[in-house]
């Protein structure tokens, strides 16, 4: 009896001493701060981390629940990325941002089976935009096919709406990522009558002399680039070397950061890329970041990437997660979330223009709305251009949509093929 009392007293005392367990919102960050792709991985990871640090420091988390980031180094290596996923999912991970198309492809079946959402924001498998097949995968606010279509739309605008007989070349990273836009560009070639030349570049893309000699010989009217890492910088340098008109050279949103143009110096002036958010740090949110994160000595990394394109991209990614968490908390009326509830939050995410302004980012990006059937979001993009003298990117067009007439059937076709291959019965989103 005495022993029982002693045990009971000890249990009560322990419970009182520890207090109620503090729930956390666990968000993994698969980053690459080392290796050949580190210059691109670091600013993204810093922006992502700094935003969550701001939420924790300023607001005590999201609706009072602190966010715990679990960072895992992938080195942009697919095997390591999968290891990171396996080693962190047990910590209660709510959602994954793989930051690599290769890793995303590997995680699609795994995360689907585990019931953990994956948000491959503007990368990964394009047809994951079809929410009826890819229930756990999201790629909003836009897909590679949206990007390809918007770039062609911009070229159409530049050419007075007629591309008949024009020559377009695609120089691309010879990987799953680089090959993504080919199908769309081929379909658009049929529609608009341009001739498409494909120029693959092997990893890592340090040597591209042959490709640029071909461009010099064939003289395409426009060159589109789907590159990453050192490939981008070398391509911009080679284009400048052969005196290719830089305003006719347009990269995808992963080929449009400061890293890609700075090494070429003045030669990169006029180079364009598509973007799904604005560059720079001229937004009220940065005042909060300065007060609660930078000046408090809590900035991620060296604190030297603030306002760069990829820093803003990482911040954008963190915002999509944070807003997804808020929506999930609202839908399920709970502050502690499960991955399944998080999935619901992402699927019902709405970031209106007013909400962007409330977040301290007015005009930063167009409104985003995700739905059961549409995991790809609005698919809007604008063209930005590099000014080498001022070392700044500037948006030179409005955010416009892609050619849904071409893109949507391609998404349906590819997702149907995946559903058949994976034995998935597409769900209904009618209700």
Q: How far is CA 402 from its chain centroid?
A: 17
Phi/psi for 67 (5° steps) reads -100, 130
Of 33, 118, 16, 23, residue with least CA distance to 300: 33
Residue 265 CB, shortest distance to other proteins, in Å, is 7
CB 3, min distance to other proteins, A: 51
Q: Could you tell me if residue 32 is left (phi over 0), alpha (psi between -120 and 50 degrees) or otherwise beta?
A: beta
User: In this complex, which beta carbon is closest to other proteins, that of residue 36 or of residue 66?
Assistant: 36
* Closer residue to other proteins, CB minimum distance, 259 or 415: 259
Burial of 194 by CB count in 10 Å (0-12 exposed, 13-18 middle, 19+ buried)?
buried
CA separation for the pair 27, 109 (Å, rounded): 20
Residues 141 and 146: their CA atoms lie apart, in Å, by: 10
Tell the smallest beta-carbon distance from residue 299 to other proteins (Å): 10
Q: Which is nearer to other proteins, 45 or 365 (CB)?
A: 45
- Extract the tokens encoding 25: 């919102």
154 or 166, CB closer to other proteins? 166
Taking the complex as a whole, the smallest distance from the CB of residue 280 to other proteins amounts, in Å, to: 18
Site of tokens 């839908």: 331
- At its nearest, how many Å lie between other proteins and the CB of residue 150? 25
Residue with tokens 């690599």: 100
Least CB distance from residue 201 to other proteins, whole Å?
A: 6
Which residue number, 202 or 358, has a Cβ lying nearer to other proteins? 202
CA distances from 78 to 13, 50, 73, 83, 229 (A): 48, 25, 11, 9, 15
Least separation, in Å, of the C-beta of 189 and other proteins?
A: 17
Residue whose CB is less far from other proteins, 126 or 211:
211
| Residue 267 or 381 with smaller CB distance to other proteins | 267
Residue found by looking up tokens 């909003």 in the block: 140
Smallest distance from other proteins to CB 258, Å: 9
CB of 107 to other proteins, least distance (A): 25
Which residue, 200 or 401, has its beta carbon nearer to other proteins?
200
Q: Is residue 61 classed as helix, strand or coil in its secondary structure?
A: coil
Min separation Cβ 29 and other proteins, Å: 17
Mind giving me the DSSP string for 188-230? HHHHH--EEEEEEE-TT-S--HHHHHHHHHH--SEEEEE--TH
Which residue's CB is nearer to other proteins, number 38 or number 419?
38
Q: Which residues pair with 250 in a beta bridge?
A: 224, 272
CB of 178 to other proteins, least distance (A): 10
Evaluate whether 234 touches 260 at the Cβ level (below 8 Å): no
| 27 versus 170: smaller Cβ distance to other proteins | 170
Q: 200 or 426: whose CB is closer to other proteins?
A: 200
List contacts with other proteins (CB under 8 A). 33-39, 42, 174, 198-202, 204, 206-207, 209-211, 213-214, 216-217, 229-230, 233-234, 237, 240-243, 259, 262-263, 265, 267, 297, 301-304
Query: How many angstroms from the chain centroid is the CA of residue 63?
Result: 25
From residue 396, alpha-carbon distances to 53, 166, 274, 405 in Å are 32, 23, 10, 25
Interior/surface letters 13-38, b for 16+ CB within 10 angstroms, e for the rest? eeeeeeeeeebebbbbbbbbbeebbb
Rounded-to-5 percentages of helix, strand, coil across the chain: 50, 15, 35
């Amino acid at each position: 009896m005495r022993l029982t009392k002693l045990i009971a007293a000890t249990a009560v005392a322990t419970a009182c001493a520890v207090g109620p367990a503090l729930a956390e919102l666990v968000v993994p960050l698969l980053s690459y701060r080392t290796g050949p792709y580190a210059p691109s991985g670091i600013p993204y990871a810093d922006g992502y981390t700094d935003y969550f640090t701001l939420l924790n420091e300023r607001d005590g988390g999201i609706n009072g629940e602190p966010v715990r980031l679990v960072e895992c180094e992938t080195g942009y290596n697919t095997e390591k990325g999968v290891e990171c996923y396996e080693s962190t999912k047990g910590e209660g991970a709510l959602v994954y941002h793989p930051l690599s198309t290769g890793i995303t492809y590997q995680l699609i079946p795994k995360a689907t089976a585990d019931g953990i959402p994956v948000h491959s924001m503007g990368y990964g498998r394009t047809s994951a935009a079809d929410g009826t097949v890819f229930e756990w995968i999201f790629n909003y606010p836009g897909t590679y096919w949206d990007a390809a279509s918007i770039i062609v739309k911009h070229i159409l605008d530049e050419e007075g709406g007629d591309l008949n007989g024009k020559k377009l070349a695609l120089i691309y990273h010879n990987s799953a990522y680089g090959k993504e836009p080919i199908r769309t560009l081929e379909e658009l070639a049929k529609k608009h009558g341009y001739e498409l030349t494909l120029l693959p570049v092997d990893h890592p893309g340090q040597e591209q002399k042959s490709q640029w000699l071909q461009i010099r010989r064939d003289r395409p009217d426009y060159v589109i680039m789907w590159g990453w890492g050192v490939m981008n910088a070398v391509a911009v340098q080679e284009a400048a070397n052969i005196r290719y008109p830089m305003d006719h050279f347009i990269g995808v949103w992963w080929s449009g950061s400061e890293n890609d143009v700075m090494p070429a110096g003045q030669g990169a002036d006029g180079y364009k890329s598509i973007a799904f958010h604005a560059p720079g740090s001229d937004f009220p949110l940065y005042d909060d970041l300065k007060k609660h994160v930078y000046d408090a000595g809590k900035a991620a990394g060296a604190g030297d990437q603030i306002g760069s394109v990829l820093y803003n991209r990482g911040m954008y990614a963190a915002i999509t997660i944070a807003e997804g968490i808020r929506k999930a908390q609202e839908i399920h009326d709970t502050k502690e979330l499960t991955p399944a509830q998080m999935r619901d939050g992402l699927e019902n995410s709405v970031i209106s223009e007013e909400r962007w302004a409330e977040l301290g980012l007015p005009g930063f990006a167009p409104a985003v709305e995700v739905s059961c059937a549409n995991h790809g979001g609005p698919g809007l993009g604008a063209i930005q251009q590099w000014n080498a003298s001022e070392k700044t990117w500037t948006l030179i067009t409005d955010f416009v949509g892609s050619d849904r007439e071409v893109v949507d059937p391609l998404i349906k076709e590819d997702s149907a093929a995946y559903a058949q291959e994976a034995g998935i019965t597409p769900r209904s989103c009618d209700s």
